[in-house]
Amino acid sequence: MPAATPLRFRPHHFLCALGYQGKGYSTRFTANMSYIVYTRLRNAATADTPIEVVTVSDAICAPCPHRRGTGCERETKIAALDQRHAARLDLRDGQVIGWLEARQRIRERIAPDDLDTLCAGCEWLDAGMCKQAVAQLRDG
């Protein structure tokens, strides 16, 4: 069986994918994110989907209304999120990591309350979805 083509994720999108609950910036964005999360990551047949770490627009960003070429209209904020997440999860640009290993790193290195600092500036933080997902992951 051929290896799966890696998804491309900015570092902060590992936690976004973990906490995703069907909400997004637009209909197109939500459809794309739902496909990535529910089909490519959470489906038992593809649970260890390979993910390539990138520092530019990625698979999740593709239909985002804030995307501008390979960047984001909020690039300063997004780059800061990426730097904090990359450092905490030990991710490097160009690295390929499986979704199961990514979840293990999140479980071992991030507590729900860490998101207050790690995800500072994210408009989704107050919704609590990611904190809830991290708590559930840590509880096993």
Query: Residue ranges of the domains in the chain?
Result: 7-139
- The answer to whether residue 138 scores a pLDDT higher than 90 is yes
Helix axes 99-109, 129-139, angle to 10 degrees: 90
Residue-level pLDDT at 2: 47
* Residue 51: strand pairing partners: 7, 97
71 vs 46, higher pLDDT: 71
List the Cα angle 139/83/47 in 5-degree steps. Answer: 40
Residue 93 CA from chain centroid, whole number: 14
The per-residue pLDDT for 1 is 42
Is the predicted pLDDT of residue 47 greater than 70, yes or no?
Answer: no
% the chain with pLDDT above 90: 58
Torsion, Cα 94 64 127 39, to 10 degrees, reads: -70
Q: Using one digit for the tens of pLDDT, what is the confidence trace for 110-119?
A: 999 999 999 9
More confident residue, 114 or 39: 114
H, E, C per residue of 105-118: HHHHHCCHHHHHHH
Highest mean pLDDT: which range of 1-5, 43-47, 120-124: 120-124
Q: How confident is the model at residue 74 (pLDDT cuts 50, 70, 90)?
A: confident
Arithmetic mean of pLDDT over the chain: 89
